[in-house]
Amino acid sequence: MDDWRETDMSQLSESGGRTYKIEANLLDLQNELREGDSLLDVGCYLGDIADFCEDYTGVDINVDSVEMAKSFHPKKNFYVGDVFSLEGAYDVVFCSRVLIHLPDFEKALKRLWCATKRVLIVVIKIGKHDTVTKLEKSNQWYYFRVMALKNVIDAAEALTDTFEIRKHKYASLILRRC
Ligand SMILES: C[S@@+](CC[C@H](N)C(=O)[O-])C[C@H]1O[C@@H](n2cnc3c(N)ncnc32)[C@H](O)[C@@H]1O
């Protein structure tokens, strides 16, 4: 969905970032990070986690969000980009609450995996069934996708047999290269 390219992020930013809903997932990320790692944060929004890692890069499809992230974290790397056209490869790739807004989970997961040298963490809602909710906000459509556990496992198994799923409010799907 292209809606995010046009979304006015200044309204969202008034809440001062939204990582409070994904604290458990952020602990999962911290546990995976090693000294000297490079970290790619896909759908970085305001770059809330830029200080988790010395060698941090944030990418987001929304220009305003990247501009704000740069102003908050002038010493970190940010660029405007799409999950489907990522540049380079990173030790750890983190992608939180982005794939729930995209129609093609498997394709996005594959692209994220290509950008991963060691560990990929995807934060997503998991339920019993695949469901897609379409919401209209300020004349823009937003999709919110809940993935069925079986489909998430199938998609991860197609890439690696070294993965785990940690169930929190949002689940952490953790894929590792051996
Ligand atoms: C719900 S926010 C999540 C922000 C943050 N990762 C978190 O979990 O709090 C979704 C973010 O993903 C970005 N986004 C949406 N589609 C994207 C895409 N195709 N490629 C890169 N970023 C995208 C949006 O611009 C937005 O900043």
pLDDT per residue as tens digits for the range 63-111: 999 999 999 999 999 999 999 999 999 999 999 999 988 888 999 999 9
Residue 129 predicted with pLDDT over 50: yes
Residue 132 predicted with pLDDT over 90: no
Residue 157 C-alpha to ligand 1 middle, in angstroms?
Answer: 24
Sorted by where each begins, the domain ranges of the chain are 3-176
Residue 114 C-alpha to ligand 1 middle, in angstroms?
Answer: 19
Average pLDDT in the 49-58 region? 96
Residue 147 C-alpha to ligand 1 middle, in angstroms?
Answer: 17
| Per-residue pLDDT, 103 | 80
**Torsion angle, CA of 17/148/175/114, rounded to 10 degrees?**
-80
Mean residue pLDDT across the chain: 89
Residues 112 and 123 sit within 8 Å (Cβ to Cβ) = no
Residues 75 and 100 sit within 8 Å (Cβ to Cβ) = no
Residues 26 and 172 sit within 8 Å (Cβ to Cβ) = no
Which of 18, 60, 63, 87 to probe ligand 1 with, by most ligand atoms within 8 A of CB?
60
Residue 29 C-alpha to ligand 1 middle, in angstroms?
Answer: 17
| Per-residue pLDDT, 4 | 59
pTM for this entry = 0.91
| Per-residue pLDDT, 153 | 95
Copy the structure tokens of residue 166: 């940690």
Ligand 1 and 108: CB distance under 6 A = no
Architecture of domain 3-176: 3-Layer(aba) Sandwich (3.40)
Share of the chain above pLDDT 90, in %: 76
* Secondary structure, 3-state, the chain: CCHHHHCCHHHHHCCCCCHHHHHHHHHHHHHHCCCCCEEEEECCCCCCCHHHCCEEEEEECCHHHHHHHHHHCCCCEEEECCHHHCCCCEEEEEEECCHHHCCCHHHHHHHHHHCEEEEEEEEECEECCCEEEEEEECCEEEEEEEEEHHHHHHHHHCCCCCEEEECCCCEEEEEECC
Ligand 1 and 101: CB distance under 6 A = yes
